[in-house]
Amino acid sequence: MTDEPSAVPLVEMRGVEKSFPGVRALQGVRFDLRSGEVHALMGENGAGKSTLMKILTGVYQPDGGEIRIDGQPVTLPTPHAAQALGISIIHQELFLMNHLTAAQNIFIGREPRKGLGIFVDEAKLKRDAAAIFKRMKVDIDPGAEVGHMTVARQQLVEIAKALSYNARVLVMDEPTSALNETEVEHLFAVIEDLKANGVGVVYITHKMDEVKRIADRVTVMRDGQYIDTLPAAQTAMSTIIQLMVGRELADQHRATGTGTAEEVLRVEGLNRGAMIRNVSFALNRGEILGFAGLMGAGRTEVARAIFGADPLDSGTIHIHGREQKIATPADAVANGIAYLSEDRKHFGLVTGMSVRDNVTMASWRRFLSSGLFMQDDALGKVAEEYVRKLKVKTPHIHQETRLLSGGNQQKVVIAKWLLRDCDILIFDEPTRGIDVGAKAEIYRLLEDLAAQGKAIIVISSELPEVLRLSHRIAVMCEGRITGELDGRMASQEDIMTLATQRSSAAA
C-alpha cells in the first residue's frame, strides 16, 4: 500500500531525549510516520514507547531532539497544541463521560451554539457526529449514552472524537486489549479506512499477530533506545521478539506434562443466570487446565463463582472429593482456592501497601502474638523468602506495590496465595499488562507450580498462551463448556471452532 515512501514523512522525530529523575527514559530515539500507513511501535513495558508518544502528543516536553510535521519543525507544548496539528491519541483506558451521549462526548468543549451562544445546538451536534460515524462506516446512534455502549463502541466514539479534530496522526495504545474477535475485525476495518484516507496510525501493541495483520512497518524500542524499523510483512515474529527482549525466546513452546490422576477440584452443574450454564469439569493435582473462549463467554464468571465472589443459582463444588459450600471468598480460601484476577490493581493488590503486607495479607492471622499483635519481623522474613523464591524485583519488601512492574505485581499476588497454602490456583489472564520477557518468566513459574503439585486453571484470551501452558483446554461459549481438548495436540483452529459453537437454544 505505502511501500513507496512519500517524499516528506507526516511525522519525523529525531534524536529525542527525555530524562526523569534517576531514569534516562529516551536516548536519541527516532521515529517516523508516513501518511496512510500503520506503523507498529513495539517494545517491552518500560522500553519508552509511552514516553515517546507522550512527547508526540504534547503531554511531555523532550529534553532534546527535533519533531517535524510535514517537514516543518514544531514544538508541542500542550496536548491541545498537538491536537491543533492533527495529532490525537486513543488511550488504552478510554476517557469518555459515561452519562453523556456519543455526540456530546465527541464535541465536548466545542459544542455548536445557538440563541446568542447560550444554548447548545443539539440537533447540529447530532448531525455532525452522525456524519463522522458515516465516514467511518460504523453504525452508532449519536444520541446514545456512552455508558451503555460496549467497550468496542466506546473506542469507536474516541476515534470519531479524534477525527472530529481532523486528526491526521492517530496514536492507538493497545486498542484491542478489551475487544473480542469480531470487534477487533471491525476495528481493523475502520483502521484500513483511515489509512485509505491518508491518516497515519501509530499502533502500540504487544500482540504479534495483530502486527502481522495490520501494520506496514514495525519499530522496535528497548530500554529507551531505538533498535530498528522493519517491514511488518517480511519480518518473522521471532525476529521482532528477539529485538524486543534482546535475547532469543524459545518460540511456540508447548505444554508437555499431563498432571496426575489425583482429582483436586470437581464442579458439577454450575448455573448462574445466562453467564454460567451447566458447567461441569474436574481438575487434577499438578495439572494446568486452560479456559479458552471469546470475551464474555463466561470464563471469568465461572472462576468468580467457584471462588465465592458471586452467588450461584445451582451446582456443587467438590474439593478433594468432598462437597464444600463456598458462599464467600473466605470460604474458598479456607478450602485452598485462590483467584488471581486479571485486574490486579483493583482485585489483587492493595497497591498502597507494601510488598510485605500484600504477600502476607491472606495469612495475617497466622502471624499474631496474643491473637492481636502482628509479628512484623516474622512477616518480613517470610516475605523476603517469597520475594527470593519468585524472583520479585523490588528494592525492598517495604516498597509500595503500586511502584512495581506488572510482572512483579503478579508475582506478589502469586506469593500471597502460595503463602496461604492454596493448592488450587485460578489465574485470570495471568499475563495481561505484562511485557514479553516477564511473560516467559510467569509461564515458567506456573509450570514449576504445577510440577510441585498445585492444580492450576488458566483463563486466557490469548490462544498462544493457552496452548503454551495448558495440559488440557476447556473451551467456553455463551456460558457453557463446548468442548475439552488435549493441550499437547490442540490447534488454534480447534479452539476457535469450539469457542464460536453457538447454541441456537434460547436461554
Binding positions for another protein, rule: CB under 8 A = 44-47, 222-223, 245-247, 307, 309, 328-330, 332-334, 339, 341, 346-354, 357, 361-362, 364-365, 368, 372-374, 376, 380, 384, 387-388, 391-398, 405, 416, 420, 437
Shortest distance, position 347 Cβ to another protein, whole Å? 5
Q: Could you tell me how far CA 180 lies from the centroid of its own chain?
A: 12
Shortest distance, position 205 Cβ to another protein, whole Å? 18
Cell 483436586 locates to 264
Shortest distance, position 19 Cβ to another protein, whole Å? 16
Shortest distance, position 493 Cβ to another protein, whole Å? 34
What is the DSSP code (8-state) at residue 145?
A: B
Closer of 122 and 384 to another protein (Cβ): 384
Classify 8 as helix, strand or coil.
Answer: coil
Strands of 119-216, DSSP E: 119-120, 169-173, 200-204
Q: What does the block give as the cell for 344?
A: 490486579
Q: Could you tell me how far CA 159 lies from the centroid of its own chain?
A: 19
Closer of 47 and 53 to another protein (Cβ): 47
Closer of 304 and 472 to another protein (Cβ): 304
Closer of 218 and 499 to another protein (Cβ): 218
Shortest distance, position 240 Cβ to another protein, whole Å? 15
Radius of gyration of the chain (CA): 25
Residues 392/401, Cβ–Cβ less than 8 Å: no
Closer of 233 and 327 to another protein (Cβ): 327
- Can you spell out the DSSP letters for 67-136? EEETTEE----SHHHHHHTTEEEE-SS----TTSBHHHHHTTT---EETTTTEE-HHHHHHHHHHHHHHH
Shortest distance, position 237 Cβ to another protein, whole Å? 18
Closer of 86 and 348 to another protein (Cβ): 348
Shortest distance, position 99 Cβ to another protein, whole Å? 19
- Can you spell out the DSSP letters for 316-368? EEEETTEEE---SHHHHHHTTEEEE-S-IIIII--TTSBHHHHHHGGGGGGGE
Q: What does the block give as the cell for 475?
A: 473451551
Cα–Cα nearest to 284, from 262, 267, 268, 303: 262
Closer of 56 and 349 to another protein (Cβ): 349
Classify 248 as helix, strand or coil.
Answer: coil
* Spatial distance between the Cα atoms of 136 and 197, rounded to a whole number of angstroms: 10
Closer of 105 and 410 to another protein (Cβ): 410
Shortest distance, position 227 Cβ to another protein, whole Å? 11
